[in-house]
Amino acid sequence: SALALNGKIKEVGEKVFATNGKKADFASALRSCEEAGGTLATPMNEEENKAIMDIVKQYKQYAYLGIKECETLGQFTSITGMPLSYTKWHQHEPNGKGKEKCVEMYMDGSWNDKKCNAYRLTICEF
Delimit the domains of the chain by residue range.
Answer: 11-125
Preceding peptide of 43 cis, ω within 30°: no
pLDDT at position 7: 54
The model's confidence at residue 98, banded by pLDDT at 50, 70 and 90, is: confident
Long-range contacts of 72-78 (CB under 8 A, 24+ apart): 73/97, 73/98, 74/98, 76/103, 76/113, 78/42, 78/44
H or E, element range at 66? strand 63-69
Q: Flag whether the pTM goes above 0.85.
A: yes
Q: Looking at the domain 11-125, which fold is it?
A: Mannose-Binding Protein A; Chain A (3.10.100)
User: DSSP alpha helices (H): ranges in the chain?
Assistant: 2-5, 26-35, 46-59
The CA distance from 6 to 85, in Å, is 32
Please state, for a pLDDT cut of 70, what percent of the chain lies above it.
94
What is the C-alpha radius of gyration for the chain, rounded to an integer number of angstroms?
A: 13
H or E, element range at 65? strand 63-69
The model's confidence at residue 81, banded by pLDDT at 50, 70 and 90, is: confident
Q: Pick from 71, 98, 77, 125: which is nearest to 114 by CA?
A: 98
The mean per-residue pLDDT over the stretch 14-42 comes to: 96
